[in-house]
Every structure is written in structure tokens, then in C-alpha cells.
A and B are shown apart, each in its own frame.
Chain A
Amino acid sequence: MSGLRVRIARKAFGGSAILGKIEFDLAPGERAALIGPSGVGKSTLLNALAGLDPDFTGLIERPEGRIGMVFQNPRLLPWRTLAENIALVPGAGGMARARALLAEVGLEAAADLHPERVSLGMQRRAALARALATEPTMLLMDEPLVSLDPAAAAAMRALLISALERTGASALIATHDRRDALALADRVLELGGGPARLISDRASPLRRDERMDMAAIERAHATEFANE
């Protein structure tokens, strides 16, 4: 089984280059965080990886199988219930499976509500359930924890860790929060500069079983990003 292979030379909007040279591979099952300041081009890179924006110079080889994507804005269809939003995805397996997936993210009671009637945190969880519905080989997540209150963010983080553990899909998680990056990923890719390049690519100092431990995350954050 092949993984993700990225060899981007340049990506521009109009005349101005957003992404410069970005090259990395992601092995099957490997989870990487993509960090960097807001506006650096993380979403642009994710869109290119998802195949939504083919207008760049370079090459992207995606793993076989389907891609699940969790957008920063959950992008649920507001006129369909949470369960319908999942069941509508081709290959998701109908309403019964949609309900089961929602139950896994703690939303069994909200399955028949429309997205605008539930909180952002719940919408994000539903969007995660949708991303998992097609049993993807690669998950792309754009700031899955941003603008959630601390409790909702903690719940979502735990949910993401267990979902990633269960599916075995490879994952690329864009975030501006280094602690989240350490908690969620085996490897941390950092984008910086303008146009954005890959300025560092390092393994997470934490083992997978240490990543729910906030103190361990704090210690890792202090050593990893000490001189910045």
C-alpha cells in the first residue's frame, strides 16, 4: 500500500506565490501535524492534497482508497439532519450506520437535529463522523479544535485520538496550536515564510500512549519549542 507523496514546487493565487517548495512523504497509518501561523498556507496545502485545487506546480500522489476531510468550518448541509448528512455520502452505508457513527462521537441524541440547532463542537463531531464514514485511507483535518471552548476542545481531542487509533488511516492535521500538534501526531511538519516552505520536519517526542497526558504534553512542548 502506498502512502502520500508531496512534491510541490509552487502554488500561487493570481501573481503572488502562497506555497514554495514543500516536499514530504506520509507513510500509511502515519499521522502528521501541520503547524504554522494563521494565513501561512496550511488550508491551501490541504485543499491541494484533497484534490480540490489542482492549480499548482509539482506533483501529489495520494494513497489508494478514499479521503476523509474535516474542514475548519464543518460544512454540513444545513437543510439535512446530522444523520442525513452522513448517510448522503456515497459509500457511507445508509441511515442505520450514520446513527451508529454518530453514537460513536456521542451524538446519538442529536442524530435527527439540523446542524444549525446544535453547537459548533457538535457540528465538528458530526463532521468527524462523516469523515470516518467512508473508511478513508487518509484523513485531512483543518484546525479541528479551533474556536471550541476548553471543555469541547478537550472532548474533541480525545475523540480524535481514539478515532485515529481505531481507523489506522494516515492523517494530516493542520493546526496553529503546538500542544495540539504534539497530542495528535507522530510527526510535526512546520510551515513558515512567504511563500511558505517546510521549515522543519521532526518526530513527536511523545509515544502514542503518552498523548492524553497534559503534563507530558507540556514538558514536550517546553523542550521541543524551547528556543522559539
Chain B
Amino acid sequence: MVWTLFSIGGFVLFWALLSWLIGSDELPGPGAVWRAGVVQIASDDYFFHLGMTLARVGAAFLLSMSIGSAIGVFLGMHGGADRAFGGWLTLFLNLPALVTIILCYVWFGLTETAALIAVSVNKIPNVATTLREGGRALNRDLAEMAAVYQFGRIARLRHVVLPQLAPFFAVAARNGLALVWKIVLVVELLGRPNGVGFQLHVYFQLFDVATILAYALGFVVVVQIIELLFLEPWERHAARWRR
């Protein structure tokens, strides 16, 4: 924690120095970005746009985690299905995000649904690939134990299968959050009337680099808080039994 603060402090210093050396509006220093942020916050719009983006990130994240996990675990547990559809996964994994976004807007119109589908389609193959490994790694010994002792369906899922998948969920969630919010910004920039991506587009046209950085940093802070408050405690809880 202390080292993280030192490290970030060092970065801010480096940034301030660089901006002072360049001495141009194209790279405003930390102070200028802070002031731009304060102006945005005072105008009320800041939290509205941040909130809209956060809502889209949350929805797309839940959608892609649940669908991607289901697909991945299924493929991991059924070799035949994996041979039949594994190629599809590779295909979607390598489909550029921009192409899916454009296609979704063309096919479904400039709607919220289209935006969420576009983000999810980008993320689902990632989650599925990670969870497929989890499905493959499921322990046969424990499955047999549960069979001999007549565990019910729910008990098997809760006590035998899900704890084995937890580390894979954690990896998918961590990579997922970062990827999803980056794609959400592009989706907003291309076809939504609000959100951080939309604001970035507006301030890009005004060449207001300080405000652009203020939005970007604001979101980095939010994602970091989610990580510290939810992901890390959950990972610690899930790993408490390890030696």
C-alpha cells in the first residue's frame, strides 16, 4: 500500500515535470487537470456521465461474465462441444472490437441494447476461454466422491464445482473489468448521447486535453475503488483455505 502510494506519487511528479518542460496546453500538468475536474464536478454533468458509463460497464460486465462462464465451463467439460465450437471462440476472440460495435449499430440501430450487445460480444469470448480452462481442470476425484456420498445437484455446484472455478472467475473478472470499460467508451463515442466516451468526444473536438484527462483519471479511480472494495476482499476470502 505504501509502495503503491510512492509509485503513484512518483508518476505524478514525472508528469508535472514533463508538462512543465513541454509547456503547452497539449500536456496539461496535474494541477490543470485537477482544476478542469473541479469545474466538471461543479457543473453536475460529471457524475451523470460517469454514472451512465458505470451503469453500462456494470450491465455489460454481468452479461458477459454470466454468458461467457456458462459457455466456457460447458466447452471445458464436453470435449465434443469444444471440438465443434472451439473454432468459433477463436474467431470471435480475434474479431476487432470496432467491427462488432459498428455491426451492432448497423443491425440494431443506435440503441442501448445494441451498445450492450456490442460490448458483451467483445468480452464473452475472453471469459469463455478463461472459464474453459476451469471446466477442463475440474477434479474428477472430487466429482466421484460427491457421487458416492449422494450430494444433490445444488450441493455439488456450491461445494464442489464453484470453489474450483473461483480462481478462473477472478481472473476473468479482473481482466474483464478493464477490458469492458475501455470498450464501453468506444461504444459511447460512436453512438450514445451521454457517458464518459461521449464527453471525451466533445472535449476532443474542443481540444480540451485537461478535461479529457480529468474524465479518464476519474474513471481510473472508480475502477480502482471497485477492485479494492470488491474484487480483492473476495479473492482473499476464496483463497483462505490455501496453505
Contacts and interface: CB of A to CB of B under 8 A. Distances in A.
Interface string B69-105: 0000000000000000000000000000000000000
A69 B148 contact: yes
A116 B151 contact: no
A215 B159 CA distance: 45
Interface in B109-144: 141-142, 144
A64 to B, nearest CB: 14
A79 B142 CA distance: 12
Nearest to B164: A79
- B144, B145, B238, most chain A CB atoms within 10 A: B145
A71 B141 contact: yes
A114 B239 CA distance: 11
Contacts of A115: 241
A71 B241 contact: no
A134 B149 contact: yes
A52 B159 contact: no
Nearest to B241: A114
Interface in A79-106: 79-80, 88-91
Interface string A121-151: 0000000001000100000000000000000
A181 interface: no
B151 A52 contact: no
A90 B155 contact: yes
B241 A78 contact: yes
A169 to B, nearest CB: 14
A77 B141 contact: no
Nearest to B139: A75
Given A80-B159, A88-B151, A90-B151, A75 B241 contact: no
B242 interface: yes
A4 interface: no
B155 A88 contact: yes
Given A47-B144, A114-B241, A116-B242, A79 B163 contact: yes
Contact of B152 (A66, A75, A90): A90
B149 A130 contact: yes
A73 interface: yes
B141 to A, nearest CB: 5
A50 B155 contact: no
Given A88-B155, A90-B155, A114-B241, A77 B150 contact: no
A219 interface: no
A111 interface: no
A115 B241 CA distance: 8
Given A73-B141, A77-B159, A80-B159, A67 B148 contact: yes
B160 interface: yes
Nearest to B152: A90
Contact of B241 (A67, A73, A79, A89): A79
Contacts of B155: 88, 90
B178 interface: no
Contacts of B241: 78-80, 114-116
B38 interface: no
B147 A66 contact: no
A80 to B, nearest CB: 7
A141 to B, nearest CB: 12
Contacts of B159: 77, 80, 88
Contacts of A73: 141
Nearest to A75: B145
CB-CB nearest 3 A-B residue pairs = A114-B241, A75-B145, A79-B163
21 contacts: A51-B147, A51-B148, A52-B144, A52-B148, A69-B149, A75-B142, A75-B144, A75-B145, A77-B160, A77-B163, A80-B241, A89-B150, A90-B150, A90-B151, A90-B155, A114-B240, A116-B241, A116-B242, A116-B243, A117-B243, A134-B149
